[in-house]
Amino acid sequence: MKNIVVYCGSNLGANKAFFDAARHLGKVIAQQGSRLVYGGGNIGLMGTIATAVLENGGEVIGVIPTFLKNQEGAHLGLTKLYETANMTERKNKMIELANAFIAMPGGLGTYEELFEVLSQAQLKLHPHPIGILNVAGFFDPLLQMLQNTADAGFMPQQNMELVCVDNDAENLLNQMRHWQPQHAQKWITPEWAQQEKEALD
């Protein structure tokens, strides 16, 4: 877990607990000798976690599209900054650099990035651990939606184990270090379809 990608909001959020968690996760990442890879911005939780890593002696790699660099402003103190042509190139570059992924509270972009790496893990396109830092229960509805997806037969129950979840940064990172890739059958034949096939046979 040398390079940890963190997906999080370009806003600070209404609850100060989100800000405090970003600062703490940044400190822990630096203290444990990992490098932060993130979206390159200087605002919101993104800027908060990057600054915390740097303040604690860690390294930070930013990846930002040109149009966002012009709108939001890139963090000026980063170890390295990659500039991309668009959002897709940014996502792919971050995935390329990653040994692990963590989602913190954020908006639509955070959800998109999290589901991208979850989908790739399901298809065995990367072997890296994925964590959710569930600050103040922020991700509870999303986790329930994933469980509903499994219950409804659109993914195997084992895929719930594709993601590590905790509300504490140290505990989450420890879970992720011990995580092993899951090998579940993606395509499921529901009982009713099997019965219809047998009836036709």
| Tens-level pLDDT at each residue, the chain (201 residues) | 999 999 999 999 999 999 999 999 999 999 999 999 999 999 999 999 999 999 999 999 999 999 998 887 889 899 999 999 999 999 999 999 999 999 999 999 999 999 999 999 999 999 999 999 999 999 999 999 999 999 999 999 999 999 999 999 999 999 999 999 877 777 778 888 888 877 887
Q: Which two tokens stand for residue 77?
A: 């103190």
CA distance 105 to 23: 13
pTM of this structure: 0.93
Q: Which of 96, 91, 128, 135 is nearest to 113 (CA)?
A: 91
pLDDT at 186: 74
Q: How many domains does the chain have?
A: 1
Q: Range of 136's domain?
A: 3-200
For residue 167, which phi and psi values (nearest 5 degrees)? -100, 5
CA distance 175 to 169: 10
Helix H segments across the chain?
Answer: 16-31, 44-55, 66-71, 87-97, 108-122, 140-151, 169-178, 191-200
Domain of residue 122, CATH code:
3.40.50.450
CB 62 within 8 A of CB 33: no
pLDDT at 140: 98
